[in-house]
A and B are shown apart, each in its own frame.
Chain A
Amino acid sequence: MDNYKKTELPEMVKITKIVYENPYVRTFFIGRKIDAQPGQFVMVWLPDLDEKPFSLSYAGNKTAITVEEKGKFTSALFKMKAGDKIGIRGPYGNGFTLKADACVVAGGCGVAPLANLIERLKNPLIIQGARSRDRIIFKGRFKGASITTDDGTAGTKGFVTDVLEAQLAKNKFSIVYTCGPEAMMKRVFEICERHGIECEASLERFMKCGFGVCGQCEADGLRVCKDGPVFPSAHLRKIKDFGSFARLKSGEKVAISDYAKWRCQ
């Protein structure tokens, strides 16, 4: 679609409230209504430091991002208080399609964009995984979530994929939505393929422009910022990098595990 007037500049908006989800994760509510599809993201600018993409964990009347403290940028964000301002531009990317009879599979911080989705779905089955009890995000935000933890300190001990397999053996779903560590999403996708169920996964790559011109976030010819970040099964089948490779800031393609380590700096 032609649009000659498209400006993409950050606007400074106030943090209105900070919710401590657990010792590692906080939700930052901002004083700006952003109409966004579940799954869309914004670029967050901290002047003099950097700018990074975050998916919206609340959209519509309340707008928020939910952030895990991992590196320099998120540490700086964690030092901020209600009333401080951050730069925001977006929303960017596509979103999840909204379908009935859905199953949502979330891993760790991947629950952020999915939470926003869950609230627009009618009675989805929710499978939420975390490493341990103290890492669970949005406790009590949605009813009836099947919780798994790697160490068994909450819910079922094990992985979200075990619960998904068990559910697919007895229930029918029209779609499985997933977001989390890429290795987990890859397994979710493979399970869906085996059961012939449509899957939508939200991918993460290092981004620069956020609006589809620089090419930095590309994965096999698809721009994660513009063609994604949510990809349907048809694309997931095509993306050879999915679960395997991602690009560093230089554009060099490396194993996804090396990429994940680099992203935590």
Chain B
Amino acid sequence: MNLETSLCGIKLANPVILASGILGVSRSLLSEVIRNGAGAVTIKSISLEAREGHKNPTVIAFDAGLMNAVGYSNPGTAGAKKEFTGLKGLGAPVFASIIGQDASEFEKVAEALGGLEFSAIEIPLSCPHTPGFGTLAGQDTPEKTHEIVRAVIKKTKLPVFVKLSPITRNIGDVARAAEKAGASAITAVNTMGPGMIINIDAKKPVLGFRMGGVSGPALKPVAIRCVYDIYESVKIPIIGIGGIMTGRDAIEMMMAGAKAIGVGSAVHYRGMDVFKKICSEMSEWMYENGYESFDGIIGAAHG
């Protein structure tokens, strides 16, 4: 089965993309993920200055998913420029993920990474556990989304993807604001929450930041609904993320309206080769059901 697809003019060998925040700290790990079948990879988000992030525990797994409050640890634009060199040699497109506390910081980060060989820039306006960024800074409103997207597209020729929060009340409105501001695609969704897990013997929340973003299977039905809503609201393509573990999950996300699929937490449950596994399961399902391409699958649940 041929799983080739394209996203904003970027050719992908398959639609399964490494989501930002999982494994994407180094060029060599990105290379490993590509070797394990990812059609594209997204780096861990980069801010202007280096950040240490929150105290451990930062990532835990509970019965129905993962919860994290890493707090955007990253080596800043200076570290990123040293780390992410020669990306064209990796064999699959690499997407940058950039963060800022306001529009001008986003601009500066976009500019600083301009010389690297990224194929697109993702801007998450949706992190639920880092003060100053994402939902905790109110970046998930249609107004802020519009302002930040406008600022970033002025500084780059690359396609800009906007990553949205599942807790936003009218996610379709935010997607529309992003599209109107010139975004090339919507990435949906970021982790949900924040949530909290308390260890009753310690009488303390487990995560160092006490609360964190929920991902994995617990997020899937919410993510599917968000992508479904966004598909009704915009024409630009959607990268569907949230609890995708299997080929069937990926097809479900496509039927909700996603053109491509992001995978993160599933690395924990199925190993780094989960990308290959999802691709072969998608192929199998498509073969059994008489599909030769994704036409007829994307958005099939609408109408």
Chain A bound to chain B:
yes
Residues of A within 8 A of B (CB): 1-12, 43, 45, 47-52, 85, 87, 208-209, 211-216, 218, 220-221, 223, 247-253
Q: Is the pair A218, B202 in contact by a Cβ cutoff of 8 Å?
A: no
Across-interface contacts of B61 in A (CB, < 8 A): 6-9, 211
Q: Is the pair A7, B29 in contact by a Cβ cutoff of 8 Å?
A: no
Across-interface contacts of A87 in B (CB, < 8 A): 199, 202, 206
12 contacts between A and B (CB under 8 A): A2-B277, A5-B63, A8-B61, A9-B206, A47-B204, A48-B204, A52-B56, A85-B201, A213-B66, A215-B23, A221-B28, A248-B52
Alpha-carbon distance between A8 and B52 when the two chains are bound, in angstroms = 23
Nearest chain B CB to A80's CB is how many angstroms away? 13
Q: What 8 A-B pairs come out closest when comparing CB atoms?
A: A221-B28, A209-B59, A51-B56, A12-B201, A252-B75, A8-B61, A47-B204, A215-B23
Q: Is the pair B26, A215 in contact by a Cβ cutoff of 8 Å?
A: yes
Q: Is the pair A211, B51 in contact by a Cβ cutoff of 8 Å?
A: no
- Nearest-CB residue, chain A, relative to B74: A251
Q: Would you list which residues of chain B between 63 and 110 have a CB under 8 Å from chain A?
A: 63, 66, 68, 70, 73-76, 79, 82-83
- Nearest-CB residue, chain A, relative to B268: A213
Q: Is the pair B269, A8 in contact by a Cβ cutoff of 8 Å?
A: no
Across-interface contacts of A47 in B (CB, < 8 A): 199, 202, 204
Across-interface contacts of A247 in B (CB, < 8 A): 25
Nearest chain A CB to B279's CB is how many angstroms away? 15
Residues of B within 8 A of A (CB): 21-26, 28-29, 31-32, 44, 50-53, 55-63, 66, 68, 70, 73-76, 79, 82-83, 197, 199, 201-202, 204, 206, 208, 217, 245, 264-265, 267-272, 277
Alpha-carbon distance between A208 and B57 when the two chains are bound, in angstroms = 7
Which one of A52, A211, A218 lies within 8 Å of B29 (CB-CB)? A218
Alpha-carbon distance between A208 and B272 when the two chains are bound, in angstroms = 17
Given that A11-B201, A85-B201 are known contacts, is A214 also in contact with B59, CB under 8 Å in the complex? yes
- Nearest-CB residue, chain A, relative to B57: A51
- Nearest-CB residue, chain B, relative to A220: B28
Across-interface contacts of A85 in B (CB, < 8 A): 201-202
Q: Is the pair B44, A215 in contact by a Cβ cutoff of 8 Å?
A: yes
Across-interface contacts of B31 in A (CB, < 8 A): 221
Across-interface contacts of A213 in B (CB, < 8 A): 22-23, 59, 66, 264-265, 267-268
Q: Is the pair A253, B83 in contact by a Cβ cutoff of 8 Å?
A: yes
Alpha-carbon distance between A216 and B79 when the two chains are bound, in angstroms = 14
Which one of A5, A6, A214, A252 lies within 8 Å of B22 (CB-CB)? A214
Q: Is the pair A209, B58 in contact by a Cβ cutoff of 8 Å?
A: yes
Q: Is the pair A214, B201 in contact by a Cβ cutoff of 8 Å?
A: no
Nearest chain A CB to B69's CB is how many angstroms away? 10
Nearest chain B CB to A199's CB is how many angstroms away? 22
Given that A211-B61, A252-B75 are known contacts, is A216 also in contact with B25, CB under 8 Å in the complex? yes
Across-interface contacts of B57 in A (CB, < 8 A): 10, 43, 45, 51
Q: Is the pair B75, A212 in contact by a Cβ cutoff of 8 Å?
A: no
Given that A85-B202, A250-B73 are known contacts, is A1 also in contact with B271, CB under 8 Å in the complex? yes
